[in-house]
Structure 1
Amino acid sequence: MWFRALFALVACGVFTVARAGEISYSQDIQPILTNKCVACHACYDSPCQLNLGSGEGVLRGANKSPVYDGARTQAQPTTRLYFDALGEEAWRRKGFTSVLDPQQGQAALIARMLELGRANPPEANAKLPADLDISINRDNQCPLPGEFEAYAKRFAHAGMPFAVAGLTDAEYATLQAWGAQGAPVEELTLQPSAAEQAQLLQWENLLNSPGAREALVGRWLFEHLFLAHLYFEGGQPGHFFQLVRSRTPSGQPIDPIASRRPNDDPGTTIYYRLWPIQGVIVHKTHITYPLSAKKMARVKELFYSGDWNTDQVPGYGLQRRANPFETFQAIPVRARYQFMLDNAEYFVRTFIRGPVCRGQIATDVIRDNFWTLFQDPDHDLYITDASYRGEATPLLAMPGQIDDIGDLLGLWAAYRDKRNAYEDLRRDAYADATAPDWSTIWSGNDNALLSIFRHHDSATVRKGLIGEIPQTLWLMDYPLLERTYYQLVVNFDVFGNVSHQAQTRLYFDLIRNGAELNFLRLMPPKSRQGYLDDWYQNSGKLKMWWDYSQADFKTPTGLFLPTEGAKRVFANQLLKRYDGLNVRSDPLNRCLGAHCYRNGLPPELRNAEQALSRLPGRPAAGLKVIHQLPEATMLRVQMSDGSRVVYSLLRNRAHSNVAFLTGESLRYQPGLDTVTVYPGVFSSYPNFMFNVPALEVPGFVEALEQSRDQASFERIVERWGIRRSNPEFWRYFHDLTVYINETEPVESGVLDMNRYENL
């Protein structure tokens, strides 16, 4: 089949195929996979675990067991690329099936999938058939070679690329020629430059410095940076590194220790090493962190400038994982908190955007948009009061280390009660402290103000206060920030069973509640009950009674705010007071005058933004089109000079409360949904895209305003929308990544299209 299709096209003169010896995986094949496959096949949510972002992933092949399974009773073996096995044979022993080897006289599985897709392409620019399931939770079949014939008959429209515009003739021919020569794969290995190598060794030397104090700091830093895509000041663009534990020291090839969690017992002597990240960078896992001489000086200042010391390093185990406050108590607590504050956007990104690639059970317990602030270290009693810290530390242990399903409720209740005992202790201690005022809020750098937007089963965080004043705000202190990080990042096992996952996410609900209660203390006492009732409507009141500790309704605030409308007054004062730190003035969503656009724009873009500013601030009860919009819509505004500007239209869904992991539809308040307009690409998972000439944006906005039902919205899609079946789909889709590369080059990565909707 490889040869018949290939030779027929060559004979017809459709294209010329390079000689077999000229086909290079790294130069010819990986670019095609990156362009047409990686948008779905990357990270843990790759259908059939087929990761096509690297040669190792292609050789690994496919596996029927999904990584995301919230109902499994047993934790499953980890299958992390590069870590849990290396090489084709090692992956076969772990149950992965080749997609490259011809079997039973038939072409390789990947070739047959591509042939099936080519034989049944979607109708150009049309909606996909209604019976074709493209949802993220679809049941992927993952056929073995012997099962393919039955699969093709039953799922004729499920070839590759799945439910989207397919390969070009040239791409298809190149893949066919590659298959004809045996589909050889060579790994394109990233090598650090000389300048990067020098900085890399400096960091490895610091992290592996001899001595108990140095070992403890190195361990803490590793547990806080293991998820980062690290890059060096002055390094090569596109070069990123990850911090790993290796059996080998600097100067030798890295031999990574593939423990299930980064704080599991390594079982041997370890060395912290910086390992080049291989394969295609995808946006959804690309959580960046810079390394520089300035950053190293800051680490030394925070962790090594004092006279503290320790003569031993704690061991590993359940209790050490459950309570990092005890494990690392020898390290000055101010240093730990300040390190996290200096890089607050990174740390919030790790638990908002990683380590999972999707997680509705987790995002169900956060609002669709909210702002996050941080408590200043000088006003955090856990930092300033050693006696209070001693009482609080034992209560800060986190669940999820024991995954016994039979004792799930008992385990959960024990940790919930500990948390509530801590909240009671905190409430009483702060009642005796100085009343909170503006000095309570940390303002050390532009990480101080963050905005989080949820997109159903994913979420995004950005510096600055974006959008309208949200329903809730979070105020995080060190115990909250550190617990959130350990609970959702360090200790979370995406391969874990239902008990582990349930405990993890139930505790996240308590974390959200704690951050809200912290903020509530800034409000006038008489206003607090009203805000709490608004945040926890209907069934939320039952949760308040059953699972949460009592809020502080008595202690005065040090802020001079009116009882009525206190939150709005506070937010407006926050915007003015911290204007120098707020990297987003956001006139599109918070227009205070007649000119609702950013400064310095050409006239056609000013007019476009002026029109777009009419969308925010209007609930769906009045702006009906919101009911038709998906979570994250990309708007590509085409300028008259050929350039383009990208905006994100974010749908903010309203809920009576977010206090439960399930039953979201029962708490949904669709009439209160709103839209936020963001200049740039705001989600790793675009749900749809419009391409609109700048001069037509006012007409586009007017059409949105007048749309009342699905039929009228479909006319908008027909005129300006980029459907999955659009022959130019991939050019438009990848142009979003190009735009990120132009505007935020360090953050650039291939976006995910698993959630691109059939509008």
Structure 2
Amino acid sequence: MWRQGLAVCFFVFSFAGLAGAGEALSYGRDIQPILSEKCVACHACYDAPCQLNLGSGEGVLRGASKLPVYDGTRTEAQATTRLYLDAHGEAAWRAKGFASVLDARSGQAALMARMLELGRSNPPTPNAKLPADLDISIRRDNQCPLPDEFAAYQQNFAHAGMPFAVAGLSDGEYATLQQWLKQGAPVDEQALQPSPAEQKQIAEWENLLNAPGAREALVGRWLFEHLFLAHLYFEGGEPGHFFQLVRSRTPSGQPIDAIATRRPNEDPGTQVYYRLWPIQGVIVHKTHITYALSAKKLARVNELFYGTHWTADAVPGYGAQRRENPFETFAAIPPQARYQFMLDNAEYFVRTFIRGPVCRGQIATDVIRDNFWALFQAPERDLYLTDAAYRAKATPLLAMPGQFDEIGDLLGLWRSYRNKRNAYEDLRQQAYADAPAPSWSSIWAGNDNALLSIFRQYDSASVRKGLIGEIPQTLWLLDFPLFERTYYQLVVNFDVFGTVSHQAQTRLYFDLIRNGAELNFLRLLPAESRQAYLDDWYQSSGQLKMWLTYVEADLHTPTALKLEGSDPKRAFAEVLLQRYADLNARPDPINRCRGAHCYRNGLDEQLRSAEQALSRLPGRPAAGLKVIEQLPEASLLRIELAGGRREVYSLLRNRAHSNVAFIVGESLRYQPGLDTLTVYPGVLTSYPNFLFNVPVAEVPAFVSALEQARDQRAFDRLVERWGIRRSHPEFWRYFHDLSAHIRETEPVEAGVLDMNRYQNL
């Protein structure tokens, strides 16, 4: 709500002295730093309460809206409200229904000032649990009062001032913001400008993307549709400078005039120029999906797309048919080039649809397991690439739903696309039954993007290179048709402002994609073992879904992999870890200890002891480690070391399900006694749910307390001793330090973390 409104924030930013009452404040110098460090952690992306985005002057001036972006009951598509794209300037945003939070009206202070006053008059009790009746959940009912509605809001929600339900602003910060508001809240934001070195590289990439000719235009269009979501940066560029690829009405050398279509593959209505546009505002981790550009990458693109002879007579048009089947739209481009480009950068592409472009992705995440590994089929073993006759038969069957929003047609549309997908799966099974049996050479091993780990935390997820955690229940094997369909279904064609019909079609088809990836992996295992694994993945109601919706699995065609023992899946994973050890970016001795030393190499004695203790937590289901039932999906552990140093670990709760095959009733399929923990160095989430701060000497005691906490009372004592609650006086220092850790260890990936999901433990 606005009660979660002007939101909260990030890190204590103190001003040694405040400008005199008559001295004008600078928005860029004095105001945005406070908003960045105390407000952006909630107010960014589409899930910003009341659409109030405080990461830029443009967002502050736009203000707030009562209309939510996330609406699972919407029967008509909503107008898009994307910053910098869908309107420019205050008047344009007012015409779209946004109300100012800066304007004083009828003798009343600005809405922002009144929210800050309300928060200051009712601060949370230091380091105490928040009141149980104060709703801080991500699905709370946002009130978003207009200025003339504030009096009623204040009476009804006395504890819902800003920052909401968290340690508040410092005295200096509060005084600075109030003084700025009294001065009329001027905004003097300066746009980010590329450096001369970046300008040179921008020109080189824009020349490539806008080269004349039909095949060049087709490649430019394909690359745009695959990179439009990226935060692009240049090797050797300025730290913190990122760019996005946009379609502009103006060519290189002129100011960008961005074309704002609902989706990136809709008709632009005019001649298009692909341009690299500096990203403005604060970088937030949840939308920061990075992609490096360099001279080497430019040469690689030229090699892949222009290194072989092929022609394009004309560039296809736009429309629903072109959106639903990119395999037809881009058929002229060699599929080997398209697939290899995606493989070279597989972590980026999986991140676009796993971490997501919309900041709240349960429409996709409730169809996946809480942890799994992803592998990719080698291009030379992918029949869609190597067999033109098979490709011609398969391509018409690869169309995807979601292009038509009418709720009355939902069932018919779904059946049509499901039947096409199942016909494709039958065709694929027949073709691969006649191909050489799968072997280790069937798995792509071109670079360290080949092995990926995915972790889901309810309505968000993360992906990292390498094989992290214990051997998971399921693995995915993605070939080109699966990889490309997943990307188009969940990224290019997905409309967060779309109808319930569009969102349902997206979710239902992604269920088929997951099933296809699992069946591809199953094909690697001995034929006689497959039914048992399939029954384990689709327990209970999942059996009904197998009968109603999916194609029959291939339980007969042999594999060339020799996997010993009674558990071939485990045997496969263990050989995978050995065979591809040089590619595995994330060796994991904590979760997969193979001896007495369950810690990383190169650590000092105290940290070795800490990791040795932490290694006792993975591998134990909640039935035997009861504290898992008390932990949220993503907890962070900050271990304090000597000399002011620290190490950060993620404690990820992996929830078990009998199956993940249905769009509703997920809680009915939970198997809480089978939940497990993954413990890993680093921040493996954009949305911390809680933070523990533990001196390194106390880590063994912390682990013992986790092992012994069998009820709520024991867990509360643990939180009292080591937890950092929202009301902790130094909450922002600790919370900010998580981003500082990312900045120190992976500087390109750094961004403000989100605290909308930080829980009241």
TM-score of the pair, normalised by structure 1:
0.98
Q: CA deviation at 1:187?
A: 1.9
Matched, 1:415 2:396: no
Q: 1-side partners of 2:75 and 2:513: how far apart?
A: 26
Q: 1-side partners of 2:554 and 2:603: how far apart?
A: 47
2:229 maps to amino acid: L
- RMSD of the TM alignment (CA)? 0.8
Work out whether residues 259 and 266 of structure 1, in 8 Å CA contact, stay in contact via their aligned partners in 2. yes
Q: Deviations over 1:526-578 (max 9, x none)?
A: 00000000000000000000000110011000101136200000000000000
Matches within 5 A, 1:112-511: 112-511=114-513
Q: 1-side partners of 2:569 and 2:17: how far apart?
A: 65
Q: 1-side partners of 2:519 and 2:323: how far apart?
A: 26
Corresponding position of 1:6:
none
Work out whether residues 64 and 141 of structure 1, in 8 Å CA contact, stay in contact via their aligned partners in 2. yes
Corresponding position of 1:642:
644
Q: 1-side partners of 2:350 and 2:17: how far apart?
A: 50
Corresponding position of 1:663:
665
1:519 maps to amino acid: F
Corresponding position of 2:750:
748
Correspondence for 1:589 among 591, 611, 624: 591
Work out whether residues 20 and 180 of structure 1, in 8 Å CA contact, stay in contact via their aligned partners in 2. no
Q: CA deviation at 1:186?
A: 1.5
Query: Could you say what secondary structure the match of 1:570 adopts?
Result: helix
Correspondence for 1:524 among 518, 523, 526: 526
Work out whether residues 453 and 468 of structure 2, in 8 Å CA contact, stay in contact via their aligned partners in 1. yes
Work out whether residues 364 and 490 of structure 2, in 8 Å CA contact, stay in contact via their aligned partners in 1. no
Query: Could you say what secondary structure the match of 1:753 adopts?
Result: coil
Q: CA deviation at 1:18?
A: 3.1
Query: Could you say what secondary structure the match of 2:333 adopts?
Result: coil
1:166 maps to amino acid: G
2:186 maps to amino acid: P
Q: CA deviation at 1:44?
A: 0.1
Q: 2-side partners of 1:137 and 1:683: how far apart?
A: 19
Work out whether residues 20 and 178 of structure 1, in 8 Å CA contact, stay in contact via their aligned partners in 2. no
Work out whether residues 685 and 751 of structure 1, in 8 Å CA contact, stay in contact via their aligned partners in 2. yes
Work out whether residues 24 and 183 of structure 2, in 8 Å CA contact, stay in contact via their aligned partners in 1. no
Q: 2-side partners of 1:104 and 1:56: how far apart?
A: 25
- Structure 1 residues 231-240 or 186-195, which shifts more? 186-195
Q: CA deviation at 1:354?
A: 1.5
Corresponding position of 1:724:
726
Corresponding position of 1:11:
none
Q: 1-side partners of 2:252 and 2:332: how far apart?
A: 27
Matches within 5 A, 1:543-622: 543-562=545-564, 564-622=566-624
Work out whether residues 424 and 549 of structure 1, in 8 Å CA contact, stay in contact via their aligned partners in 2. yes
Matched, 1:47 2:54: no
Work out whether residues 50 and 68 of structure 2, in 8 Å CA contact, stay in contact via their aligned partners in 1. yes
1:309 maps to amino acid: T
Change in Cα spacing, 1:308 to 1:15, as seen in structure 2 (3 Å) is closer
Q: 2-side partners of 1:354 and 1:251: how far apart?
A: 32
Q: 2-side partners of 1:427 and 1:104: how far apart?
A: 71
Q: 2-side partners of 1:18 and 1:327: how far apart?
A: 62
Q: 2-side partners of 1:43 and 1:20: how far apart?
A: 35
Q: 2-side partners of 1:535 and 1:239: how far apart?
A: 44
Q: CA deviation at 1:70?
A: 1.1
Query: Could you say what secondary structure the match of 1:641 adopts?
Result: helix
Query: Could you say what secondary structure the match of 2:710 adopts?
Result: coil
Work out whether residues 468 and 588 of structure 2, in 8 Å CA contact, stay in contact via their aligned partners in 1. yes
Work out whether residues 20 and 177 of structure 1, in 8 Å CA contact, stay in contact via their aligned partners in 2. no
Work out whether residues 655 and 675 of structure 2, in 8 Å CA contact, stay in contact via their aligned partners in 1. yes
Unaligned stretches of 5+ residues in structure 1: 1-13
Aligned residues: 746
Q: 2-side partners of 1:356 and 1:238: how far apart?
A: 22
Q: Deviations over 1:78-128 (max 9, x none)?
A: 000000001111100100000000012100001100100000000000000
Query: Could you say what secondary structure the match of 2:372 adopts?
Result: strand
Matched, 1:86 2:88: yes
1:34 maps to amino acid: S
1:718 maps to amino acid: E
1:135 maps to amino acid: S
Q: 1-side partners of 2:380 and 2:303: how far apart?
A: 18
Corresponding position of 2:3:
none
Work out whether residues 527 and 563 of structure 1, in 8 Å CA contact, stay in contact via their aligned partners in 2. no
Q: CA deviation at 1:758?
A: 0.1
1:141 maps to amino acid: Q
Q: 1-side partners of 2:317 and 2:381: how far apart?
A: 32
2:249 maps to amino acid: R
Q: Deviations over 1:485-542 (max 9, x none)?
A: 0000000000000000000110000000000000000000000000000000000000
Q: 1-side partners of 2:55 and 2:24: how far apart?
A: 21
Q: 2-side partners of 1:295 and 1:344: how far apart?
A: 14
1:161 maps to amino acid: P
Q: 1-side partners of 2:45 and 2:363: how far apart?
A: 18
Corresponding position of 1:678:
680
Q: 1-side partners of 2:247 and 2:23: how far apart?
A: 39
Q: CA deviation at 1:632?
A: 0.3
Q: CA deviation at 1:425?
A: 0.3
Q: 1-side partners of 2:383 and 2:50: how far apart?
A: 49
Q: 2-side partners of 1:674 and 1:662: how far apart?
A: 23
Q: 2-side partners of 1:23 and 1:697: how far apart?
A: 46
Q: Deviations over 1:651-671 (max 9, x none)?
A: 000000000121011000000
Q: Deviations over 1:720-747 (max 9, x none)?
A: 0000000100110011111100000000
2:651 maps to amino acid: L
2:160 maps to amino acid: A
Corresponding position of 1:538:
540
Corresponding position of 2:78:
76
Q: Deviations over 1:203-261 (max 9, x none)?
A: 00110000001000000000000000000010000000000000000111100000000
Q: Deviations over 1:296-319 (max 9, x none)?
A: 000000001111011200000000
Work out whether residues 362 and 661 of structure 1, in 8 Å CA contact, stay in contact via their aligned partners in 2. no
Work out whether residues 375 and 475 of structure 1, in 8 Å CA contact, stay in contact via their aligned partners in 2. yes
- Structure 1 residues 182-191 or 123-132, which shifts more? 182-191
Q: 1-side partners of 2:253 and 2:515: how far apart?
A: 48
